[in-house]
Amino acid sequence: MGVEGIGARVVRKEDKRFITGKGRYVDDIKLQGMTHAHFIRSPHAHAKVKGIDSSAALKMPGVVAVLTGQQIVDDKVGNLICGWAITSKDGSPMKMGAWPAMAPETVRFVGQAVAVVIAESKNLARDAAEAVVVNYEELPAVADVQAAIKSGAPQLHPEAPGNQVYDWVIGDEGATDAAFAKAANVVKLDVTNNRLAPNAMEPRAAIADYDSAEEHFTLYTTSQNPHVARLVLSAFYNIAPEHKLRVIAPDVGGGFGSKIFIYPEEMVALWASKKVGRPVKWTGDRTEAFLTDAHGRDHVTHAEMAFDANNKITGLKVKTYANFGAYMSLFSSSVPTYLYATLLSGQYNIPAIHAEVVGVYTNTTPVDAYRGAGRPEASYLIERLMETAARQLKVDPAALRRTNFITQFPHQTPVIMAYDTGDFNASLDAAMKAIDYAGFAGRKAKAKADGKLRGIGVSCYIEACGIAPSKAVGSLGAGVGLWESAEVRVNPVGTIEILTGSHSHGQGHETTFCQLVAERLGVPISQVSIVHGDTDKVQFGMGTYGSRSAAVGLTAILKAMEKMESKAKKIAAHALEASEGDIVIENGEFKVAGTDKAIAFPMVALAAYTAHNLPDGMEPGLKESAFYDPTNFTFPAGTYICELEVDSGTGKTSFVNFVAADDFGRLINPMIVEGQVHGGLAQGIGQALLEHAIYDANGQPVTASFMDYAMPRADDLPSFNLSHTTTLCPGNPLGIKGCGEAGAIGASAAVINAITDAIGKNNLEMPATPDRVWRTIHAA
Amino acid sequence: MSTVKLTVNGKAVTVDVEDRTLLVQLLRDHLNLTGTHVGCDTSQCGACVVHMDGKAVKSCTMLAGQADGASITTIEGIAKGEELHPMQAAFRDNHGLQCGYCTPGMIMSAIDIVHRHGGQLDEATVRHELEGNICRCTGYHNIVKAVLDAAGRMKVSQAAE
């Protein structure tokens, strides 16, 4: 490892622009002649749009246009799509209602756009929006997933009777029933996985610019995957063919999944810019983010786990109702199915699993992938079940987990996934040691003497990341391939540009990706730049989500580097009059092994471009590209243990210690990996203690600002105690598993297991607010 | 319309704005100082924090007119040329930022926290004082480290001056 190579704690190259205020986010961009959009959104959860009168607004100063849902339908802009086909257990395809970018006839959630005002300034657009009169006829609404499946519930889409999108199953029902029939003990649990609002700190924004002479659009947008945005906008929404649409995702202020999706606002901005003949900018405010960014989680689950007389798990049955909101967002269908139920084996040997997932429409904001996406729901369920089982079976929770750990790899679970490697005992040992698990009983007794309820909670998570082999996801219904591309361009002076289809919105790719180049060539990272986020610069890419950028994106860069190095070695060998096989790369030089003959990398690059003395038949230049498609998911795993105290008088929880022992395979930059874990833990703890996107019975959101929705603040969280154990991922040459989502996947169960341990009552829903904890403590 | 005269990052500025213009709009839209961000519109998140006459204020929660005659410092105005402010350097060195969106407001709040507490900062105080700044990326762990680190650096640089 060099000072800037793989494994080095290199400070980030991108930081200087962010700490000096020179970041360039979408809202920072101004175009000549730019207009501003303000959306008129439904205040009702369910209503017919009977009429829109924009005559007064159109007379107001600075108003350029008022455009409606009917116009966007008339112009044949496509409806929003869901890109992953799921088949119900009866063989029928999932049932979906149409989702136009602005509603022409019916609104189905509060915040759905019905029209847009385009004006000379944002303030003028807002003023005019006040003067647009929309006549609604209110309809009965339903927000709760269990209410929505009852007979007589308000119906959202005629295409989906009973509000049911699908009723999907996985696993072997007969084998699972047989396991339960023979079980020595059965543990049952009902859990709700609370709905969350992603809340990247930068609100979504878009600027669309139509060039009528070239019939070409440019879209600046807050996207985690600009190429996927271009593909969907072109292929499905009829905006423009791909070569006539450039999508740029510049600095993006956090995503957490919510900026994967192509939203109505980008579509409307593009369409409107052509209609008004000027650039159109839309920047969401925080309340719009709460109303329209795809939410996360929102499951209601009943689960049962069967054990034999030796406390070995013999079977697992799960039934989950997943709330999709009012429309099927881009990847929503895959989240409670292939990203959730396929992880229900956890870290454990479970011979038989059967899960059923019912996807349900409600009059709420659409739900899709949010950090972890299905895997937090699976991990929370399994780890709450394990804790419940340990209490019921009266065994130590860590020991029960150890009894059931998978220890042989590869391991085929009954729910599709084939775990490639891992060492679950190692991460459990590391976490138990870090928190002094053995000394907990003494600490609990001492806390009790001080009048405090102390608890400890274990969570052993596993996730499937590096999403994923295209062939595999294709066979499961995905509409896209999930490879990644890279291009290595060596300039004649030996500086290097790496073009990647991954997109950094906080992950630090501009540093970590350079570290791979530094490792291989021995050049300083200052000589390397990372180019991403622009469809005109990077040929194609699948973007950043699912902890895939290092495992998939960086491997694509490695493949392109290998091709470039191979050509460079030929050039060096020719120049040094040596055999190509004798050339080694060290400290920025190409050397003849065992001699003092060497040529510096910039001279190799220059030779490639002067082309005065290349090997016979070799093309000039030094530029190579690669597409990399992995052979399997990766399987990061680890153990989190939380120790905390509960004040029985107030129900308030205070952290004593939070330890994390993660196995992410090889780490490129441990500093950045730790940062990813910290942030994930905060989101997992936020879900456990604070966060809940709440709707009233009529579908009115009651948490639509930071005044109502409890975002984790600095004093809600502890400092974290992190460590790593390592089994290298065999599925990619760098041995990387991915680290972006682990914290959010594993943390919430550790917290709830600890609180329920402290208060001595097992049933407690998230978020465990002081009020809820107090009521649980003092319930009869 | 009103004419607002103020000093921004040491330069005298006169701007004609609508009366309802917020200070953050004046900075971002009229002066192109886009380092100051808007994250919530309700004075919760602190992405918009700047200094007015040396004190941290949320620039989304005051009118530009209220800053008439004041001296405003934004994230763009705290480095001395190429030399970063110790708080900026501490955020970089401690990996106290990821997406960077909350960072300008965090840094401006953190400088104010150090100024108000002098050398008497500990982790609990920093966490409490950061209540008005929300970060979704870092879990605050490295932000807290950065502020404590910078508090030490700022004491040293003050002693040197």
Q: Which residues of B touch A679 (CB under 8 A)?
A: 98, 136-139
Instruction: Tell whether the model's pLDDT for residue B156 goes beyond 80.
Output: no
Residue A260 burial by Cβ neighbours in a 10 Å radius (0-12, 13-18, 19+): buried
| Of the partner residues B20, B34, B79, the one whose CB lies closest to the CB of residue A28 | B34
The pLDDT value recorded for residue A475 is 86
Query: How far is B104 from A21, CA to CA, in rounded Å?
Result: 6
Query: How far is A629 from A200, CA to CA, in rounded Å?
Result: 29
Give the Cα-Cα-Cα angle A690, A691, A693 (nearest 5 degrees).
145
Are A120 and A64 in contact by the 8 Å Cβ rule? The answer is yes
Instruction: Tell whether the model's pLDDT for residue A537 goes beyond 80.
Output: yes
For residue B116, what are the CA distances in angstroms to B56, B134, B149?
10, 20, 16
Quote the percentage of chain A above a pLDDT of 70: 100
Choice among A497-501, A539-543, A561-565, A770-774 with the minimum mean pLDDT: A539-543
**In chain A, helix, strand, coil percent, each to 5?**
30, 25, 45
Give this complex's ipTM: 0.98
Question: Minimal Cα–Cα distance from A10 to chain B, Å?
Answer: 9
Q: What is the pLDDT of residues A22-64, one digit of tens each?
A: 999 999 999 999 999 999 999 999 999 999 999 999 999 999 9
What is the 3-state secondary structure of B32-68?
CCCCCCCCCCCCCCCCCEEEECCEEEECCCCEHHHHC
Q: Are strands A245-248 and A583-586 parallel, antiparallel or unpaired?
A: unpaired
Q: Does domain A31-139+201-254+259-292 have CATH number 3.90.1170.50?
A: yes
Phi, psi of A571, rounded to the nearest 5 degrees:
-65, -45
The pLDDT value recorded for residue B160 is 65
Q: Is the CB of A21 less than 8 angstroms away from the CB of B33? A: yes
Question: Minimal Cα–Cα distance from A90 to chain B, Å?
Answer: 42
Phi, psi of A594, rounded to the nearest 5 degrees:
80, 5
What residues of chain A, 508 to 547, have a C-beta less than 8 Å from chain B? Answer: 508
Choice among A447-456, A468-477, A596-605 with the minimum mean pLDDT: A468-477
Domain range summary for chain A, segments of one domain joined by +: 15-20+483-628, 31-139+201-254+259-292, 299-468+632-778
Minimal-distance CA residue of chain A relative to B19: A123
Beta bridge partners of A49: A136
Mention the CATH class of domain A15-20+483-628. Answer: alpha beta
CA B86 to chain centre: 13
Radius of gyration of chain A (CA): 27
Give the Cα-Cα-Cα angle A46, A49, A54 (nearest 5 degrees).
135
Instruction: Tell whether the model's pLDDT for residue A652 goes beyond 90.
Output: yes
* A690 Cβ neighbours under 8 A, 6+ residues apart: A710, A711, A712, A716, A767, A769
The pLDDT value recorded for residue A400 is 98
| Of the partner residues A21, A201, A286, the one whose CB lies closest to the CB of residue B74 | A21
How far does chain A reach from its first CA to its final CA, in angstroms?
60
Q: Which residues of A touch B40 (CB under 8 A)?
A: 286, 705-706
Radius of gyration of chain B (CA): 15
Q: Which residues of A touch B113 (CB under 8 A)?
A: none
Q: What is the pLDDT of residues A583-602, one digit of tens each?
A: 999 999 999 999 999 999 99
The stretch B77-87 carries a mean pLDDT of 97
Query: How far is A395 from A415, CA to CA, in rounded Å?
Result: 27
| Of the partner residues A20, A681, A714, the one whose CB lies closest to the CB of residue B130 | A714
Q: Is the CB of A706 less than 8 angstroms away from the CB of B134? A: yes
CA pseudo-torsion sign A384, A388, A394, A400: negative
Q: Is A658 helix (H, G, I), strand (E, B) or coil?
A: strand
Q: How large is the angle between the packed helices A375-393 and A742-759, nearest 10 degrees?
A: 30
Q: Is the CB of B134 less than 8 angstroms away from the CB of A711? A: yes
Residue A341 burial by Cβ neighbours in a 10 Å radius (0-12, 13-18, 19+): buried
* Average pLDDT for chain A: 97
Phi, psi of A711, rounded to the nearest 5 degrees:
-75, 140
Residue with tokens 């200052």: A526
How far does chain B reach from its first CA to its final CA, in angstroms?
43
> Which of A31, A121, A130, A201 is best to mutate for the B interface (most B CBs within 10 A)?
A201
Q: What is the pLDDT of residues B18-31, one digit of tens each?
A: 999 999 999 999 99
**Type of residue numbered A682:** A
Q: What is the pLDDT of residues A85-106, one digit of tens each?
A: 999 999 999 999 999 999 999 9
Are A762 and A775 in contact by the 8 Å Cβ rule? The answer is no
Q: Which residues of A touch B76 (CB under 8 A)?
A: 20-22
Choice among A112-126, A263-277, B65-79, B146-160 with the minimum mean pLDDT: B146-160
Residue A480 — pLDDT band, cuts 50, 70, 90?
confident
Residue A1 — pLDDT band, cuts 50, 70, 90?
low
Q: Would you say the CATH fold of A299-468+632-778 matches that of A15-20+483-628?
A: yes
Q: Are strands A63-68 and A164-171 parallel, antiparallel or unpaired?
A: unpaired
Question: Minimal Cα–Cα distance from B65 to chain A, Å?
Answer: 17
Quote the percentage of chain A above a pLDDT of 90: 96
Instruction: Tell whether the model's pLDDT for residue A467 goes beyond 80.
Output: no
The pLDDT value recorded for residue B115 is 96
Query: How far is A21 from A28, CA to CA, in rounded Å?
Result: 11
Beta bridge partners of A52: A134
Q: Is the CB of A705 less than 8 angstroms away from the CB of B93? A: no
Are A328 and A82 in contact by the 8 Å Cβ rule? The answer is yes
DSSP string across A25-47? BGGG---TT-EEEEEEE-SSSSE
| Of the partner residues B42, B100, B130, the one whose CB lies closest to the CB of residue A253 | B100
Q: Is the CB of B138 less than 8 angstroms away from the CB of A675? A: yes
Q: Is the CB of A254 less than 8 angstroms away from the CB of B137? A: yes
Interface A–B counts its CB contacts (< 8 A) at: 180
The pLDDT value recorded for residue A628 is 94
Choice among A634-638, A724-728, B152-156 with the minimum mean pLDDT: B152-156
Question: Minimal Cα–Cα distance from B87 to chain A, Å?
Answer: 9
Minimal-distance CA residue of chain A relative to B102: A201
| Of the partner residues A254, A680, A683, the one whose CB lies closest to the CB of residue B101 | A254
Tell me the two tokens of residue A586.
Answer: 């060290």
**What is the reported pTM?**
0.97
Query: How far is A224 from B158, CA to CA, in rounded Å?
Result: 42
Residue B155 — pLDDT band, cuts 50, 70, 90?
confident
The answer to whether A739 contacts chain B (CB < 8 Å) is: no
What residues of chain A, 491 to 510, have a C-beta less than 8 Å from chain B? Answer: 505-508
What residues of chain A, 134 to 163, have a C-beta less than 8 Å from chain B? Answer: none
> Which of A19, A27, A287 is best to mutate for the B interface (most B CBs within 10 A)?
A19
Instruction: Tell whether the model's pLDDT for residue A250 goes beyond 60.
Output: yes
Instruction: Tell whether the model's pLDDT for residue B119 goes beyond 80.
Output: no
Q: Which residues of A touch B92 (CB under 8 A)?
A: 11-12, 15-16, 19
Q: Which residues of A touch B33 (CB under 8 A)?
A: 21
Instruction: Tell whether the model's pLDDT for residue B159 goes beyond 80.
Output: no
Minimal-distance CA residue of chain B relative to A289: B40
Q: Is A468 helix (H, G, I), strand (E, B) or coil?
A: coil
Question: Minimal Cα–Cα distance from A676 to chain B, Å?
Answer: 7
Q: What is the pLDDT of residues A685-720, one digit of tens each?
A: 999 999 999 999 999 999 999 999 999 999 999 999
Are A552 and A225 in contact by the 8 Å Cβ rule? The answer is no
Q: How large is the angle between the packed helices A770-778 and A742-759, nearest 10 degrees?
A: 30
The pLDDT value recorded for residue A780 is 77
Q: Which residues of B touch A25 (CB under 8 A)?
A: 34, 37, 101
User: How many of the other CB atoms lie within 10 Å of CB of A613?
Assistant: 9
Tell me the two tokens of residue B43.
Answer: 């004075």
Query: How far is A511 from A531, CA to CA, in rounded Å?
Result: 12
Q: What is the pLDDT of residues A301-353, one digit of tens each?
A: 999 999 999 999 999 999 999 999 999 999 999 999 999 999 999 999 999 99
Q: Does domain A299-468+632-778 have CATH number 3.30.365.10?
A: yes
Q: Is the CB of B137 less than 8 angstroms away from the CB of A672? A: no
Question: Minimal Cα–Cα distance from A526 to chain B, Å?
Answer: 16
Q: Is the CB of B92 less than 8 angstroms away from the CB of A674? A: no
The answer to whether A594 contacts chain B (CB < 8 Å) is: no
Are A157 and A277 in contact by the 8 Å Cβ rule? The answer is no
Instruction: Tell whether the model's pLDDT for residue A292 goes beyond 70.
Output: yes
The pLDDT value recorded for residue A102 is 98
Q: Is the CB of B130 less than 8 angstroms away from the CB of A252? A: no
Question: Minimal Cα–Cα distance from B127 to chain A, Å?
Answer: 5
Are B143 and B135 in contact by the 8 Å Cβ rule? The answer is yes
Residue B52 burial by Cβ neighbours in a 10 Å radius (0-12, 13-18, 19+): middle
Instruction: Tell whether the model's pLDDT for residue B161 goes beyond 70.
Output: no
> Which of B31, B84, B140 is best to mutate for the A interface (most A CBs within 10 A)?
B140
The pLDDT value recorded for residue A481 is 85
Query: How far is A359 from A149, CA to CA, in rounded Å?
Result: 10
